[in-house]
Amino acid sequence: MRVVVTGAAGNVGLHVTQELLRQGMRVRAVDRQACPEELHGLPRLQWHQGSADDERLLEQVMDGSDAVAHLAAVPHPQDEDPLNMVATNVLSTFATLHAAAEAGITRVAVSSSMSIYGMAWTPHRFSPEYLPLDEGHPQRPHDPYAVTKQTDESMAAMMHRRHGMDLVCLRMPFTNSGEILRQRIQLDQAEPGGVGAKELWGWLDARDAARAFHRALTVPVHGYHALNVAAPTTTVETDTNELLARFHPDTQIRTAVSGPQGLIDTRRAERVLGFVPEHDWRDMWPDLAEAASAVAPR
């Protein structure tokens, strides 16, 4: 299977590229950056340095390909000209989807974001109408980055209607691995009412995100699907009910939760893709989990 990966040097894109190669696929990688050291010399990889809105480059890599994983984007609204961010994100998505359609490609996975619900980058306190948060919750973007992801999903749905393409948009929370993920967990443990509260203490290991993309490209799926993908637990050891009482007291709780159970409903991703995350930070860093448990309110 030959897959085009845009944004292949990015935080999640690098893991997606590695996962697809591990699965025996041939990857045509597109990124503005040069090929990262982690990928140097790997078989079945073609690296194309350039932009995901370059029509000629996209035509080249799409020719003869079977599927596309689109992750190219300015990944957040911080320290970035919002006009450039919006133009870059929206244009790269449309150019990639259009080129795929022109090449007759019928399977595409697109990186989306939980921020479309109003989370992450809002300057205000965000409390959802109800929890756990499923795909049917109203979308209330508070920032231009979230709007670009909302637009990405609209374009993906349009491509299905127009060309009959099968598309999966993966809505991810904070997604990372290694030391950056550890630092985020430590931050949320120390300040649970900070950014963690706005994002419902949601997270996903980048390796699991890569597995979700692999399944989005290979599991028999027809039509257009927007799916939440997230770890089943929170970034903190405090009981989730305690967190809700302190930081989201007016939110309707539709399904009871217990312990450090996560608040992002991922049942649709499990049903459609058969995807269940494998990594939990508590297993990776038992010292961090032990320290957090010692001070967490009960």
Tokens of 155: 């374009």
**Eight-class DSSP state of 169:** E
- Residue 4: is its pLDDT beyond 60? yes
pTM (predicted TM-score): 0.95
Radius of gyration for the alpha carbons in the chain, expressed in angstroms and rounded: 19
Task: Kindly report the backbone phi and psi dihedral angles of residue 96, in degrees, each rounded to the nearest multiple of 5, phi listed first.
Answer: -65, -45
Domain that holds residue 109: 2-295
Bridge partners, residue 68, by sequence? 4, 108
Is residue 275 within 8 Å of residue 229, measured between CB atoms? yes
Would the pLDDT of 296 be above 70?
A: no
| Contacts with 158 (C-beta within 8 Å, 6 or more apart), sequence order | none
Helix (H) or strand (E) holding 158: helix 144-163
Q: How confident is the model at residue 6 (pLDDT cuts 50, 70, 90)?
A: very high
> CB within 8 A of 286, min separation 6: which ones?
none
Find the mean pLDDT for residues 170-181.
96
Length reported for the chain = 298
Number of domains observed in the structure of the chain: 1
Mean pLDDT of the chain: 95
pLDDT at 298: 46
Q: pLDDT tens digits for 116-136?
A: 999 888 888 889 999 999 999
Cα-based distances in Å from 165 to 46, 125, 208? 25, 38, 25
Q: What is the CATH classification number for the domain harbouring 139? A: 3.40.50.720
The answer, yes or no, to whether residue 269 has pLDDT greater than 90, is yes
| pLDDT, position 125 | 80
Give 41-91 pLDDT, tens digit per residue.
Answer: 999 999 999 999 999 999 999 999 999 999 999 988 876 688 999 999 999
Which residue is it, tokens 């349009």? Answer: 158
Q: DSSP strand E in 181-272: where?
A: 203-205, 224-228, 252-253
